[in-house]
């Protein structure tokens, strides 16, 4: 280890970036995150603040290029636009680590070695990074641990930030063990006890979540239609016929509800009287409600506005709607375009959607549920808001088809598992090209349809009361970490200024 830590600092930063990037991939390498920060910690503790910032940038560029390279693979945009989007996203995300590296190194030089503060820094980074239209909690470190379910059951209390804290803390402990041979055995032993205790407690908690009050069945459709062809007018009739055929297969399964994916039909279904009446007639005849993703067009204040939403058909009743609250920046809208309409004229290949304002709750046989649309499932605050509004089940309508067979769709599915554990609700996911499935409140995957397959399956969902401590208190853990860091920073400034 000493030989490794004697390498040039830029190489150590690069190594940490590679390890942490690989930990986010669907390769079951999440354990790399337990020591992936060790080289970077060494850099931060032995560099000037400026050098730490510089090496943090090297780390972050590497980490993010490996983790979210799929942004540049968006087949819905030209190669140039997709590549610029990737570069912009990576640089934007890297700036947070540059600031972290500078401040952590500065504080270390002022107060001496204070390695115990590193988890507080990383938790604060993730929390601050989640705010605003550019919020991106997708890469919170909990993503690296999604396959180690017993180790992440604390999500129901702390959200993803509790997992980040212990992952980074383990890195600090291992760094101390590697650099201080006198106490290495004791530290390694204590770390082993921590993992065993966390595993036992998490496993027990998972078993306790088997009880449920009610159950329902949902017919889930994964049509596997190329999204680049869906809005081709010459193929529209074929797309509609495919969805009708799959809808009938789902009806034959006799579910309590049928779930279609995001923007399932290449029409403005709400205002298309013919197709809306036709689908309503099918729902009336079968007696089975159906939720579908739609693209909607409305006239508001004499202006035309577009929404990415969902439409709920119930037998013999008027349809109800949900409009996506959190849109994807530079893909579904231009940030600040609501305040500066001229920004909409910029052409990055994006849609110019308007966000919804309500966290809608639907009902199936008196069971309240809510629907998240695609990117929203990466946002803990969105899922939490639905559960706080009364939802005991969450559905997800997604379309990851633009990302092809990259790691993006796999990461997206894993994020749904985190949302299920955080709020202790089952999640049913219908994705246009995959990955669709049923996720239990403890994170176990009951059903899972592979990427790139056409399928209709029946999800048997047990419904509990829903909700968790995290659902009630939100990001209190992250806020406490941030406030503690501010207190330490203020004390240091008072003492050394």
CA distance 277 to 130: 41
CA atoms within 13 A on the CB side of 413: 26
Looking up tokens 């400034």, which residue turns up? 493
What's residue 113's pLDDT? 63
Q: What does the pLDDT look like over 411-453, one tens digit per residue?
A: 999 999 999 999 999 999 999 998 999 999 999 999 999 999 9
The tokens for 433 are: 């090209």
SS3 label, residue 299: strand
Q: What does the pLDDT look like over 361-412, one tens digit per residue?
A: 999 989 999 999 999 999 999 999 999 999 999 999 999 988 989 999 999 9
What's residue 321's pLDDT? 96
CB-based contact 396:371 (threshold 8 Å): yes
Residues 326, 332, 334, 339: what is their CA dihedral angle, to the nearest 10 degrees?
-60
CB-based contact 401:227 (threshold 8 Å): yes
CA distance 280 to 287: 10
The tokens for 297 are: 């067009």
Sign of the CA dihedral running 287, 289, 293, 295: positive
Name every residue whose Cβ is closer than 8 Å to that of residue 45 and which is 6 or more positions away in sequence. Answer: 105, 108, 113, 115
Vertex 97 angle, CA 92 and 99, to 5°: 95
Find the helix or strand (DSSP H, E) in which 307 lies.
Answer: strand 303-313
CB-based contact 385:474 (threshold 8 Å): no
Region 214-463: CATH code: 3.60.110.10
Q: What is the domain partition of the chain in residue ranges?
A: 2-208+476-496, 214-463
Low-confidence ranges of the chain (pLDDT < 70): 1-4, 110-113, 181-186, 210-211, 336-351, 496-497
Give the Cβ contact number of residue 86 at 10 Å.
19
What's residue 210's pLDDT? 64
pTM over 0.85: yes
CB-based contact 100:125 (threshold 8 Å): yes
CB-based contact 64:12 (threshold 8 Å): no
What's residue 91's pLDDT? 96
């Amino acid at each position: 280890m000493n030989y490794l830590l004697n390498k040039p600092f830029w190489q150590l930063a690069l190594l940490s970036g590679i390890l942490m990037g690989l930990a986010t991939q669907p390769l079951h390498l999440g354990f790399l995150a337990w020591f992936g920060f060790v080289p970077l910690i060494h850099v931060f503790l032995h560099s000037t603040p400026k050098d730490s910032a510089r090496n943090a940038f090297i780390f972050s560029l590497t980490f993010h290029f490996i983790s979210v390279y799929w942004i540049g693979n968006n087949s819905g945009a030209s190669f140039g636009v997709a590549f610029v989007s990737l570069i912009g996203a990576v640089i934007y995300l890297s700036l947070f680590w540059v600031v972290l590296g500078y401040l952590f190194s500065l504080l270390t030089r002022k107060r001496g070695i204070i390695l115990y503060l590193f988890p507080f820094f990383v938790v604060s980074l993730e929390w601050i990074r989640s705010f605003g239209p550019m919020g991106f909690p997708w890469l919170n470190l909990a993503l690296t641990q999604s396959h180690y379910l017993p180790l992440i059951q604390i999500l129901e209390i702390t959200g993803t930030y509790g997992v980040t804290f212990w992952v980074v803390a383990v890195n600090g402990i291992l760094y101390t063990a590697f650099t201080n041979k006198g106490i290495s055995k004791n530290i390694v032993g204590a770390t082993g006890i921590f993992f065993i205790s966390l595993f036992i407690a998490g496993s027990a908690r998972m078993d306790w979540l088997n009880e449920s009050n009610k159950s329902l069945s949902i017919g889930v459709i994964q049509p596997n239609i190329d999204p680049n062809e869906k809005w081709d007018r010459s193929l529209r009739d074929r797309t509609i016929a495919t969805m009708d055929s799959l809808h009938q297969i789902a009806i034959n399964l006799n579910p309590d509800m049928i779930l279609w994916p995001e923007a399932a039909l290449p029409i403005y279904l709400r205002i298309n009287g013919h197709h809306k009446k036709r689908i309503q007639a099918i729902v009336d005849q079968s007696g089975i409600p159906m939720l579908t993703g739609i693209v909607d067009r409305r006239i508001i204040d004499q202006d035309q506005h577009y929404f990415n939403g969902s439409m709920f058909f119930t037998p013999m009743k008027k349809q109800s709607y949900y409009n996506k609250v959190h849109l994807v920046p530079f893909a579904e809208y231009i940030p600040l375009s609501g305040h500066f309409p001229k920004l909409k004229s910029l052409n990055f290949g994006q849609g110019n959607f308007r966000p919804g304002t309500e966290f809608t709750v639907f009902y199936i046989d008196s069971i309240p549920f809510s629907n998240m649309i695609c990117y929203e499932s990466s946002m803990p605050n969105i899922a939490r808001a639905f559960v706080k509004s009364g939802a005991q089940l969450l559905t997800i309508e997604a379309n990851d088809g633009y990302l092809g067979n990259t790691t993006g769709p796999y990461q997206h599915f894993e994020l749904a598992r985190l949302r299920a554990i955080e709020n202790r609700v089952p999640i049913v996911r219908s994705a246009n090209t995959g990955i669709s499935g049923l996720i239990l409140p403890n994170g176990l995957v009951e059903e899972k349809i592979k990427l790139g397959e056409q399928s209709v399956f029946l999800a048997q969902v047990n419904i509990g009361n829903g909700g968790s401590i995290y659902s009630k208190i939100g990001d209190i853990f992250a806020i406490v970490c941030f406030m503690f860091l501010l207190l330490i920073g203020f004390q240091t400034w008072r003492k050394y200024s």
